[in-house]
Structure 1
Amino acid sequence: MSGASSSVRVRDFQPDDGPAFKALNLAWIEQLFEIEPSDLAQLENPQGQIIDRGGRVLIADLDGVPVGTAGLLVGHEPATLELVKMSAREDLRGLGIGKALIAGCIQAAREMGAARIWLESNRKLDAALGLYRASGFRELTCDEMASSPYSRCDIQMVLTL
């Protein structure tokens, strides 16, 4: 996978993407945090936990190899989708994988009729937070924040479409 001739392509999840979806997300979660029950449910069954519930999972391919993931989960509130399980291979940073996934998620959310994309993250994830802010997400105030099933989450953001 060399830089100049490579291009990132974002596409919908296919059944054989399950192992890549799980591995790409485990890589960053295990590096910085602990795997939690909510993680395992989505990572072991993205079809049933995300797609079959009305959401979408996107895969970023580089030269035909899955190198990133992002999911859109039907949210707690009407017209709100939750951005979940966004990941990109660490050794390929700087190739636009994250930007391509965010753009794909925004387009998919619009196609799905969403008014907002909500997410939760951790302040340790500087690159991710920078990408979210550059894409128009704003940080929620304490009064606006919802409870989280993840102990690692200390920031929530929203993008109005």
Structure 2
Amino acid sequence: MSSPADARAFRDLNLEWIEKFFSVEPADLATLDNPQAIVDGGGEVLIARLGDVPVGCVALVQEHPGVFELSKMAVSPRFQGHGIGRKLLETAIERVPALGAKEFFLASNARLASAVHLYESLGFVHVPPSELPPSPYDRADVFMRYPLTA
């Protein structure tokens, strides 16, 4: 999160997909209205750009020391299908160990089938929700973990 423009892009990119498929939940607004809290809490917010245009984003949220959630991954519909989501996810997987992650997980929804397939293709595995920190999202029905190596 390097600027107020990045914070706006993070919010706008995420609201676009959330409002298309679901209802915005209080936990969404808590994150989207203050993405700097992710950074202040030991995480990162990554913004993908084509030139100067923000086209995608993802957050690495530290839930507890060493426990990180992949959160708020979004790619503008105008730029989907060009590998931006894959690059964001690959970058997140590369970055999270440097943040001190011992555990890396996500919660998603089965309606987002292409996203779930992308997570699977890069090594995330399905786990029961009881194996992960509780999700604040009512829409969460897919729970996955990435096997970090020591």
TM-score (norm 2): 0.92
Separation (CA, whole Å) in 2 of partners of 1:20 and 1:88: 11
Segments of 5+ residues of structure 2 without an aligned counterpart are: none
User: Is the Cα–Cα contact under 8 Å of residues 68 and 89 in structure 1 kept in the other structure?
Assistant: yes
Asked whether the 8 Å contact 1:24–1:69 carries over to 2, the reply is: yes
Q: Which residue of 1 aligns with 2:24?
A: 35
Structure 1 segment 14-53 matched on structure 2, within 5 A? 14-15=2-3, 16-48=5-37, 50-53=38-41
Unaligned runs of 5+ in 1: 1-12
Which one has a larger percent helix, Structure 1 or Structure 2? 2
One-letter amino acid matched to 1:154:
D
SS of equivalent to 2:123: coil
2:49 is paired with a residue of what secondary structure?
strand
User: Any idea what the Cα deviations from partners look like across 1:73-121, whole Å, max 9, x if unmatched?
Assistant: 1124x42210111000112111111111111111110211212211000
| RMSD across aligned positions (CA) | 1.3
> Which aligned runs of 4 or more in structure 1 are off by greater than 3 angstroms?
none
Please name the residue that 1:122 is paired with. Answer: 109
> In percent, how many aligned pairs have the same letter?
44
Q: Shift of the alpha carbon at 1:18?
A: 1.2
Per the alignment, do residues 73 and 17 of structure 1 end up closer, same or farther by CA in structure 2, a change over 3 Å counting? same
Residue in structure 2 matching 1:110, options 93, 97, 112? 97
Work out the number of aligned pairs and report it. 147
Q: Do 1:115 and 1:160's aligned partners in 2 also have CA atoms closer than 8 Å?
A: no
Work out whether 1:99 is the aligned partner of 2:123: no
